[in-house]
Amino acid sequence: MTTSPHTQTHKDPGSVTPQELYEGIGTGTVPYILDVRNQEEFALWQVEGPGPVPMKNVPIWVAVEEVESLAAEIPEDSVVVCAHGNGSSLLIEMLADEGRKVRNLDGGTAAWAEFLIAKELPNMPDSVLGWQILRPSKACISYMFGAKGGNAIVVDPARFPAFYENLATQNDMKITHVMDTHVHADHISGGPELAARTGATYHLPIEDAGPKVPWPNEPLADGEEIDLGTAKVAAFAIKMPGHTPGTICLHLPGVFLLTGDTVFVRGVGRPDLTGSADELAKELFHTVHDRLRPLAPATMVLPAHWSTAAELGSDGLVSTDLEHIFASTLMQEEDLVKFVHEIVGSLPSAPDTYDTIRAVNAGKVVSAEEIEFLEIGKNQCAASTTLG
């Protein structure tokens, strides 16, 4: 398992790194989270781990006034969270004076927003290593596959290139290909920067590639092969329009299918972000029946998002197989009109920031502050329809 470089060292025994918090939520060693950001920030997004944890929002200026009652109320070893870890550390000292020992989230939600965790994927073919890389603050997923001593491909990277570079170095791989399955609407892609830093070829779907973006790129056509060097296998792109007109996914026959934002463990991608929802939902219908259904049922489905911790398996991975996907009522729907109606009829409204994020991912230049603002909050890429 690999984590963000800046979160690896743990200096203060009274604090936890984002990784320790994430894992502590999963193992139950974090009994409670006290979030002392203001109500507006808390309403936008909260720390979410691989399982449930009791949580309360008490803005810092209220918390310092109510230290005595808070000390009586919250359990020992709770974690206090603020925007940068400073206000919370002051409160922790005050709580200690009241006899309640709690811990601080190092770097606050700013560090949490950049926290990535890589989990090795099981059942890869000989000489191939694969990782699912979770970004809990946004419930976004990227991937890296490669061969030791050979090449690696990174798919849908977050905007923290050093993480992927370190993972490749640690495993004696060279990142030669970087790919975005589509022009993302929910987060800023790290693809162009990672490709520029590593000298890798940057791939996009044909519909989004070429002169449509200002950085060097090579469109990835349906069925095109990507060579991982010493590995005996090659990945194939499989075009799966639906969420966006040109979404392209990676398929290693009989092993895995990266579904991007097209199909999730418990839902399908919303079809309304880039044009006519009806038209794209129809495309999704054809993708499901013409492209997914013929594939091997045991193929591991690896999506680009999750929505709730319920989608994480006991191994911490977000994955299922095609057999499970096709057990759902929606995927068994053979009537095009009913399928489209079921998806389009229940769509949540799209966040205001999504058009701007797509523009940035297509080359619009904005400030670092605006990028941080645009990335606030969990993805909302799934249609509300659930599979199951």
User: Using CA atoms, how far apart are residues 113 and 108, in angstroms rounded to an integer?
Assistant: 9
CB of 380 to Fe ion, least distance (A): 8
Q: Is 286 exposed, middle or buried (0-12, 13-18, 19+ CB in 10 A)?
A: middle
Please, which residue, 186 or 311, has the CB nearer to Fe ion? 186
User: Using CA atoms, how far apart are residues 328 and 385, in angstroms rounded to an integer?
Assistant: 11
Tokens of 258: 């990266």
Q: At what angle are helices 277-286 and 336-344 packed, to 10 degrees?
A: 130
Q: Could you write out the three-class secondary structure of 104-128? A: EECCHHHHHHCCCEEEECCCCCCCC
User: Using CA atoms, how far apart are residues 134 and 305, in angstroms rounded to an integer?
Assistant: 9
CB of 262 to Fe ion, least distance (A): 10
User: Using CA atoms, how far apart are residues 271 and 284, in angstroms rounded to an integer?
Assistant: 8
CB of 140 to Fe ion, least distance (A): 7
Pick from 222, 155, 227, 152: which is nearest to 191 by CA? 155
**Residue whose token pair is 């949490």:** 112
Residue closest to Fe ion when measured from CB atoms: 381
CB of 306 to Fe ion, least distance (A): 11
Please, which residue, 180 or 186, has the CB nearer to Fe ion? 186
Please, which residue, 114 or 261, has the CB nearer to Fe ion? 261
Which strand (E) or helix (H) includes residue 3? strand 2-3
CB of 366 to Fe ion, least distance (A): 19
Q: Is 53 exposed, middle or buried (0-12, 13-18, 19+ CB in 10 A)?
A: buried
- Do the Cβ atoms of 270 and 382 come closer than 8 Å? yes
CB of 382 to Fe ion, least distance (A): 9
Please, which residue, 150 or 245, has the CB nearer to Fe ion? 245
CB of 27 to Fe ion, least distance (A): 29
- Do the Cβ atoms of 71 and 95 come closer than 8 Å? yes
Please, which residue, 106 or 283, has the CB nearer to Fe ion? 283
> Active-site residue among 82, 140, 249, 381?
82
CB of 61 to Fe ion, least distance (A): 36
Of the CA atoms within 13 Å of residue 198, those in its CB half-sphere come to 29
Please, which residue, 265 or 381, has the CB nearer to Fe ion? 381
Residues whose CB falls within 8 Å of the CB of residue 106, separated by 6 or more in sequence, listed in order? 7, 10, 12, 15, 16, 17, 18, 85
**Residue whose token pair is 């399908």:** 268
Please, which residue, 261 or 283, has the CB nearer to Fe ion? 261
Please, which residue, 44 or 62, has the CB nearer to Fe ion? 44
Residues at the interface with Fe ion (CB under 5 A): 186, 261, 381
* 82 is an active site residue: yes
Handedness of CA 278, 281, 285, 287 (dihedral sign): positive
Active site residues: 82
